[in-house]
Amino acid sequence: MTISKNVEKALNSQLNSELYSAYLYLSIAADMEAKSYTGMAHWFKLQAKEEVEHAMKFYNFILDRGGKVELLSIEKPKTEWQNPLEAFQDAYEHEKKVTSLIYKLVELAQNEKDYATLEMLQWFVKEQVEEEAQTQLIVEHLKMVGDSKNGILMIDHSLSKRGEE
């Protein structure tokens, strides 16, 4: 069974959202790097890479189901944040938005009785739990240290270790 036009359009929109996520995280990484938060920049660069991988899951799935990939324009992201807390709060809010988009896709797939899409989306449902929890924890840590330069530098150093686990 090929993908319906409704589902194809919605998945292409999500593909765009995932690429926007990568743009947003690269933009935050660039700002953090400019402010000498190299650990946070590293964390956001890896996050951007992960978002491109998510986009490719949608890309490949659309093609595997006989659909047509349509690459839409990617919105320009914000380019500057006052501090790391604001950057991670924006990332957390963005992840919550992505979760709501995934949930809308799940509802569409359920309504269309598109079980293959529904199955594929379960991976993203689980992934979003992790994405939200991870960014929320960093926000909470940044709130705990407040304006403490030592605290922020400790968090920055900790985030530089991402990918070494």
Closest CA to 107 of 119, 123, 118, 122: 118
Written as tens digits, the pLDDT of the chain (165 aa) is: 689 999 999 999 999 999 999 999 999 999 999 999 999 999 999 999 999 999 999 999 999 999 999 999 999 999 999 999 999 999 999 999 999 999 999 999 999 999 999 999 999 999 999 999 999 999 999 999 999 999 999 999 999 998 876
Domain ranges of the chain: 5-159
Return the CA Rg of the chain. 17
Tokens of 136: 């929320």
CATH number 1.10.3720.10 given to 5-159 = no
* Residue 112 backbone zone (phi > 0: left; psi -120 to 50: alpha; other: beta): alpha
CA 142/CA 57 separation, integer angstroms: 32
Share of the chain residues as helix, strand and coil, in percent rounded to the nearest 5? 75, 0, 25
pTM: 0.94
